[in-house]
Amino acid sequence: MASIRLGDEAPNFTAQSSEGEIIFHDWLGNSWGVLFSHPADYTPVCTTELGTVAKYKKEFEKRNVKVVALSVDGLQSHRGWISDINETQNTTVNFPIIADEDRKVAVLYDMIHPNADEKATVRSVFVIDPDKKVKLMITYPASTGRNFDELLRVIDSLQLTAYHKVATPANWNNGEDCVIVPSVANEDIPSLFPKGHIEIKPYLRMTPQPNLN
């Protein structure tokens, strides 16, 4: 199948997970979602990643985000590995891990890259909005663990820019000034951005983050 692109509807699927059957779109409901794959159970980098996600659960919940992991290993393997994650990472895995032994979901989301590994999934990340549209895709090699602080930062930007006519500049963090999008006319700025703005160039107009008091 064709690769998924930004703005596409996230493919729906039914799969078994460590927390029972998941019908993906129903499971997401009105939440944002993060679907991320890892190459295999009982691997060192993945163990640290899933432990980190468990520790960040409250941060995801604050942003109305549900998180689900996936690998091509089975449920029994997942359950045994979860015990290791809890022990070694001093946490409790509190989100589902999909068992994708037949690789249906991995193929649906183009998570297997044959030039990297013919069987295991790469470290794919998909952020999906409540309309089930794909808003972000990041792909890491198996050797590089993900930065979940960066993922939270990106989600903050996606949620801000979904509801306000702004974009976020390089290295932006929640609470910092934003860029007014070029489609906003100068005469409309005062009503849209009552906190004021600074025009650095006609195409580069900065304003305080609009969704903060």
Catalytic residues: 46
Fill in the DSSP letter of residue 11: P
Counting Cα atoms < 13 Å in the Cβ hemisphere of 64 gives 11
Any idea what the Cα angle at residue 161 is, between residues 186 and 157, rounded to 5°?
130
Which residue stretches of 33-74 are H helix? 44-55, 57-62
Q: What is the secondary structure of 153-179 as a DSSP string?
A: HHHHHHHHHHHSSEE--TT--TTS-EE
Q: Write down how long the chain is.
A: 213
Distance CA 142, CA 6 (A): 23
Q: Helix, strand, or coil here: 114?
A: coil
- Exposed (0-12), middle (13-18) or buried (19+): which is 111, by Cβ within 10 Å? buried
* Phi/psi-derived region of residue 10, left when phi > 0, alpha when psi is between -120 and 50, beta in every other case: beta
